[in-house]
Structure 1
Amino acid sequence: MSYALVTGAAKGIGKAIAAQLAERNYHLLLVDIDAAALTATAEQLAAQYHVHAHTLHQDLSQPDALLNVTTWSSIYHDELSVVVNNAGYGLNGAFEQLTLSEQFNIIDVNIKAQVGLSYAYIPVLRSFPKAYLLNLASTTAYQTVPYLNIYAATKAFALSFTRGLRHELRHSTVSVSALSPGSTDTDFVNRARMGDHIRSIANKFNMTPESVARIAVDGLFKGKAEIIPGFTNKLNAWLPKFFPKFFVERIAGNIYEPREKTGAVVLTT
């Protein structure tokens, strides 16, 4: 039986992707910053799907994160054929009102960790007749999003990076895909302290993590370049290119501009 590694696996989409992989008889290597939730997820999935689920409590923004993750997973590399770079988060607020360290931290997790883990695990994945790498992007990758500026920019990077990597590896045994979900029904809205105006819009278009994960894993194993779950999300990803950028930015800005509360709003994927 093969192993799959999933970052950001304690909750939400990451947990649901891990469940989909366990249902397909993959043992699990699960990484997350939330130790308690990660342990609970591992125990649940191991009992439900009768697979091994190993955990690593790790903040991927830390300088030693890449070394820690790869050292921990190294004893499983002979069986590790799926890697899912799911971890990521964002801050909702005006650029100049968020601290620089907060915004650099977003870049560390959403970009540096994804690039580093991709670089580290591609040689491992190459050793299999067929292997898979899934990087998390977002529907925000397809447009500028004021007040979610750094987050959206990192997701645009993730999408471009993943497509370029896919082309470079097109003659190898490694299939590379990008997952671009839209609004998903996880508890990040409560953790984010999002304003009522954002909540009401999100609630109209939410998908469940389970439905996103099912589409994601099906698309990954079919070798799709970009996986955008849901018809509405596909529209949100592709329609902006048919309108003037200032118009799209104005709409996004009206949605994400903080109103009820001041300060940062934390969003996690």
Structure 2
Amino acid sequence: MYALITGASKGIGKEIAVELAKQKYDLLLVARSEGLLRQVAIEIHEKYGVQVQYLSVDLASVDVARQVFDWVEKNQFQVSVLVNNAGYGAVGNFDTYTIEQNRDMMNLNMATLTEMCHVFLPMLKRQPKAYIMNIASSTAYQALPRMAVYAATKIFVLNFSRALKYELKDTSVSVTCISPGATDTGFNDRASVPDKARKAAEKVAMTPQEVAKISVEGMFAKKTEVIPGFLNKLGAFLAWIAPKAITENVAAGIYQ
């Protein structure tokens, strides 16, 4: 059986692949950078002895989920674990980004994730045990000024995952949503996160290895929701109980 991981060329996605390789899952890695994918595939195969195949595609493109599924079907891979990790964010007021930039973010963070679940669900249902892991974010628990679209996409991921878990409760497929907080990846650079927010994140940041281990354990335990790290759990709880105007004002101040 194979585990398929999107956004698997670096960061949390790569470390989730490592954790699954430790449990002797063969891997299907999907991301945009062919060079990085090849490097990760060789590294994991040599260290853990599992089969590792990869596909280089732009996961923000339209109908990419069908393209990934066709590749899997053509090669007769049987997928029992689907990890939707690919996603990205951008910091700045909503109108500083073009319609195309916001659309690409929404496509990747929401549409591709949803469509991957849709096209692979029949295959997953045929397995004695199957798992879907969707990566959201700690931003899924509140509106986030200056990251308005990104946070909104992660709210979608969280609520979609919870609803899908319920719909599949009488099947062999379990769904888990992971909501990491600050993690030591290249996210801050890609999203142009300001120095003030970076310094705040440094105090609570987890490593990709820590997040991946907690995520995989939570998935196999069939948890519905996992927030890695005590401080991230506390932050989500406080965002839930505090007046929205207060949490939004605090968040806006951090991302100035």
Fold similarity call, TM over 0.5: yes
Structure 2 equivalent of residue 267 of structure 1:
none
Q: Would the alpha carbon gap of residues 190 and 96 (structure 1) be closer, same or farther in structure 2, given more than 3 Å must change?
A: closer
Structure 1 equivalent of residue 193 of structure 2:
194
Conserved in 2, the CA contact under 8 Å of 1:177 and 1:224?
A: yes
Q: Secondary structure at the match of 1:44?
A: helix
User: In 1, distance between residues paired with 2:105 and 2:191?
Assistant: 15
Following TM superposition, by how much is the alpha carbon of 1:76 offset from its aligned partner in structure 2, in angstroms? Answer: 5.5
Q: Secondary structure at the match of 1:91?
A: coil
Query: Deviation string for 1:188-235 (max 9, x for gaps)?
Result: 223444322121111111100000000000000000000110001101
Conserved in 2, the CA contact under 8 Å of 1:77 and 1:124?
A: no
Query: Deviation string for 1:101-144 (max 9, x for gaps)?
Result: 10011000000000000001111110011110011111100000
Which ranges in structure 1 are unaligned for 5 or more consecutive residues? 258-269
Q: Would the alpha carbon gap of residues 22 and 237 (structure 1) be closer, same or farther in structure 2, given more than 3 Å must change?
A: same
User: In 2, distance between residues paired with 1:160 and 1:191?
Assistant: 26
Question: When the two structures are superposed, what TM-score results if normalisation uses the length of structure 2?
Answer: 0.97
Query: Deviation string for 1:248-267 (max 9, x for gaps)?
Result: 0000001112xxxxxxxxxx
Structure 2 equivalent of residue 165 of structure 1:
164
User: In 2, distance between residues paired with 1:183 and 1:77?
Assistant: 37
Q: Secondary structure at the match of 1:176?
A: strand
- Mapping of residues 1-269 of structure 1, within 5 Å: 2-75=1-74, 79-257=78-256
Conserved in 1, the CA contact under 8 Å of 2:81 and 2:131?
A: yes
Conserved in 1, the CA contact under 8 Å of 2:89 and 2:191?
A: no
Query: Deviation string for 1:137-174 (max 9, x for gaps)?
Result: 11100000000110000000000000000000000000
Query: Deviation string for 1:76-113 (max 9, x for gaps)?
Result: 65631100000000111100111111001100000000
Conserved in 2, the CA contact under 8 Å of 1:70 and 1:120?
A: yes
- Specify the code of the residue in structure 2 equivalent to 1:67: R
User: In 1, distance between residues paired with 2:76 and 2:130?
Assistant: 12
Q: Secondary structure at the match of 2:29?
A: strand
Conserved in 2, the CA contact under 8 Å of 1:7 and 1:30?
A: yes
- Specify the code of the residue in structure 2 equivalent to 1:221: F
- Specify the code of the residue in structure 1 equivalent to 2:42: E
User: In 2, distance between residues paired with 1:80 and 1:240?
Assistant: 36
The ranges of structure 1 where at least 4 consecutive aligned residues each deviate by more than 2 angstroms after the TM superposition are 75-79, 187-195
Conserved in 1, the CA contact under 8 Å of 2:78 and 2:123?
A: no
| Residues matched between the structures, number | 256
Q: Secondary structure at the match of 1:54?
A: strand
- Specify the code of the residue in structure 2 equivalent to 1:247: I
